[in-house]
Amino acid sequence: MPDAAGWLGGKSAEMRAALMSSQLIGLLVMRSIIESEALAADHVEQIVAAVAPTIQSLADS
């Protein structure tokens, strides 16, 4: 995570980058591998609306 942490900067940048990555990788696994119906392609706008605030909060911290 050094590249992302460098881009984020600030306190706990490496941890925040890892948390952001883990959330996005988890979403990818649920959609692509487990094929969760709740996270299907037709729900993209809802997924973005739910996940974006958390990612943004980690980026801004």
Q: How far apart are CA 34 and CA 27, in angstroms?
A: 10
CB 36 within 8 A of CB 48: no
pTM of the model as a whole? 0.81
Confidence of residue 31 (pLDDT cuts 50, 70, 90): very high
Look up the domain containing 8 and give its range: 2-60
48, pLDDT greater than 60: yes
User: What pLDDT was estimated at residue 43?
Assistant: 87
User: What pLDDT was estimated at residue 40?
Assistant: 85
CB 12 within 8 A of CB 61: yes
* Structural domains counted in the chain: 1
Confidence of residue 2 (pLDDT cuts 50, 70, 90): low
